[in-house]
Amino acid sequence: MRYSMIYGFSGTERGMTSRQWNTVRYLFHELKLMHLHHGDCIGADEQAHKLAKNLLRGGSAKVTIHPPDNPRLRAFCKDYDEIRPELPYLSRNSNIARDGVDGLIVTPLEFAEVIRSGTWATIRYARKLKRPIWLVLPDGTFHQEGCLRVQEDSSRQMNFLVD
């Protein structure tokens, strides 16, 4: 039985809102994040990297970065456990969705799907792979897609239900 929980992450280059950050922090804890894959871009990727490292310090958690081949928006995150080869944005986005075997956590800038967005392209790849997706909107609310549904009860405990 596999106990490590491996998630992909993608988010806006403008960074998470404070409400998104709080929700992602909550999800990292409740989903028992043990390994995070992200795209090493400025903004949300960089924030998620720091959050994962701070939350999981002292544990056996890992962070793998998938850097873009164009350094213009790259965060050059430090303190990672593994770095993948630099790839064009769309290629590395599909790898993040593929390598996040337990699901994808996303923090888009928008409330609705848009074309020509790396975050939304990663969501579309995850959907094709039938990965669970936690879509954290700018107001901090989150929606779930896929085979796992997380339900928060009044004591802020998470219940996992199979669709």
pLDDT of residue 63: 95
Report pTM: 0.87
What CA–CA distance (Å, rounded) separates 157 from 99?
27
Q: Are strands 142-145 and 133-136 parallel, antiparallel or unpaired?
A: antiparallel
39-83 residue pLDDT tens: 999 999 999 999 998 876 656 679 999 999 999 999 999 989 999
Spell out the domains of the chain, with CATH numbers in brackets.
5-162 (3.40.50.450)
Residues in the chain where the model's pLDDT stays below 50: 1, 153-163
Query: Do residues 153 and 159 lie in contact, with contact meaning Cβ atoms separated by under 8 Å?
Result: yes
What CA–CA distance (Å, rounded) separates 40 from 44?
9
